[in-house]
Amino acid sequence: MSVKILYQGGTGEIVEKKSRFIANLEPINTEEEALAFIGKMKKQYWDARHNCYAFVAGSSQNLQRCSDDGEPGGTAGRPMLDVLLKEEIHNLVVVVTRYFGGTLLGTGGLVRAYQKAVQEGLRNSVVIEKIQGRPLTIDSDYTDIGKIQYILAQNEITSMDTRYTDKVTTEVMVPLEKLEFLRQEITEGTSGKSGIQVGDSVEFALIDGKIKIF
C-alpha cells in the first residue's frame, strides 16, 4: 500500500488576462495546521482581492475543506480541491491568491485559472509516495553478491547500505507486496546460502535516490 503526500511545499504563479494567480502549498496533518497556514497567507497577501483555499487531510482524505473567498460560488475552492483529489495527494493545503487585472474571466475562465495555478504550484513542490515496507538484511559470500545485486535491480529495490567484511552484508528496504517474492528469489538464486533477516514494518519513501524512513 502506498500514499502520495506533499513532502515539501512550493509556489507557482500564472497570469490570465492580467490577473495574477499565486499558489502556495504546505504539508499539513490537521485542520488547525491548515487554518494557520491560510491565515499566514492572508496576512502576507493582505492587499489581494481573493485568497481562496483548499485542503485535504487524513489517511482516506476524509477531512476536506475549501473556500471561494468572494469569487463566484464554485469557481475557485472546489475546483482547487478537485485537483488535489484527482492527483490523490494527502495532507496538504493550497492557497491561491488572486490580484485582479481588470478583465472578468467568466466562471469557466476562473475555474481553469485556479486549477492551473494549483497544478503549477504542485510542479514546484516535492510530492513523494509513502510505502509500507520492511527492511531486509542479506548476508552472503562474495561469489553470490553479483547475483543478489542483479535480483535487487530487477525488482527495483534500492540498497541502503553494503558492508564488506569476511562476508557481504546488504541492507535494503522492500515494499510489503514484494517481500515474499524477493526472499524466494534470493534463496533460490543463491541455493539457500544467503541469510535473510526481516525487520519490523515501517513507512518509507524514495527521495532523490535515497531511502527515507518515517
pLDDT of 72 strictly over 80: yes
Tell me which CATH code domain 2-124 carries. 3.30.230.30
What length does the chain have? 214
Tens digits of per-residue pLDDT, 189-205? 999 999 999 999 999 99
Q: Can you give the pLDDT at residue 108?
A: 95
Domain layout of the chain by residue ranges: 2-124, 131-213
67-86 as b/e: b if 16+ CB within 10 A: bbbebeeebbbbbbbbbbee
Q: Is 59 helix (H, G, I), strand (E, B) or coil?
A: coil
Scanning the structure block, which residue is given the C-alpha cell 546488504?
170
Q: Which three cell numbers stand for residue 104?
A: 472578468
Tell me which CATH code domain 131-213 carries. 3.30.70.240
User: Which amino acid is it at 79?
Assistant: P
Q: Can you give the pLDDT at residue 59?
A: 77
CA dist list (Å): 211 to 5, 22, 71, 155: 16, 32, 43, 16
**Alpha carbon distance 91, 93 (integer Å):** 7
Phi first, then psi, for residue 157 (nearest 5°) are -100, 125
User: Which amino acid is it at 101?
Assistant: G
Q: Can you give the pLDDT at residue 212?
A: 93
Tell me the mean pLDDT in the region 61-74.
95
Tell me the mean pLDDT in the region 130-148.
95
Q: Can you give the pLDDT at residue 2?
A: 86
pLDDT of 1 strictly over 80: no
Q: Can you give the pLDDT at residue 120?
A: 98
Q: Which three cell numbers stand for residue 133?
A: 515496507
Q: Can you give the pLDDT at residue 58?
A: 86
Q: Can you give the pLDDT at residue 209?
A: 86
pTM: 0.82
List of long-range contacts for 5-9, beta carbons under 8 Å, 24+ apart: 5/89, 5/90, 5/91, 5/92, 5/127, 5/128, 5/129, 5/130, 6/89, 6/91, 6/92, 6/125, 6/126, 6/127, 7/125, 7/126, 7/127, 7/128, 7/205, 7/207, 8/125, 8/126, 9/92, 9/125
pLDDT of 24 strictly over 80: yes
pLDDT of 83 strictly over 90: yes
